[in-house]
């Protein structure tokens, strides 16, 4: 009984050909192509939708500037951008030193601590828009 020795490349080529035949029989290649096309269309649609909401990125400049200035302390705060202000609520009670640092950064951006609302508020106006 003769034994045929095949090189690694020959085995890979045979397996590749066999897989191509199986895939073409199952029409998986066609399905994958259709999925890629629909994914591309969805991506374009999402870009169009985000382009329509062009005012949102401008509002987030102040939020981004605050987050950048706060660095690691930003993880202790819930920062929310609203049309007329940015609010910073503490997730947990801040240490005195951390509170002072946050208050200083917020005041540099024209904001303040509201004792009644128990949050920092940075109003949006022409002088502090980033």
Looking at residue 64, the DSSP 8-state letter turns out to be H
- Checking if the pLDDT of 129 tops 50, the result is no
What pTM does this model have? 0.51
Task: State the residue for tokens 């302390």.
Answer: 73
Rounded CA-CA distance 127/130 in Å is 9
- The phi and psi torsions of 11 (rounded to 5 degrees) equal -65, -45
Find the mean pLDDT for residues 17-34: 79
Structure tokens at 116: 């009644």
> What's the whole-number average pLDDT of the chain?
82
From CA 129, how far away is CA 123, in angstroms rounded? 9
Residue 24 has pLDDT above 50, yes or no: yes
């Amino acid at each position: 009984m003769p034994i045929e020795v095949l090189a690694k490349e020959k085995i890979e080529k045979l397996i590749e050909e066999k897989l191509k035949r199986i895939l073409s029989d199952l029409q998986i290649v066609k399905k994958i192509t259709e999925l890629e096309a629909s994914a591309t269309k969805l991506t374009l649609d999402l870009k169009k939708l985000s382009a329509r909401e062009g005012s949102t990125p401008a509002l987030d400049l102040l939020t981004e500037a605050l987050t950048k200035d706060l660095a690691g302390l930003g993880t202790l705060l819930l920062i929310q951008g609203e049309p007329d202000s940015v609010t910073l609520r503490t997730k947990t009670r801040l240490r005195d030193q951390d509170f002072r640092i946050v208050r200083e950064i917020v005041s540099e951006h024209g904001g303040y601590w509201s004792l009644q609302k128990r949050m920092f508020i940075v109003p949006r106006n022409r002088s502090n828009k980033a």
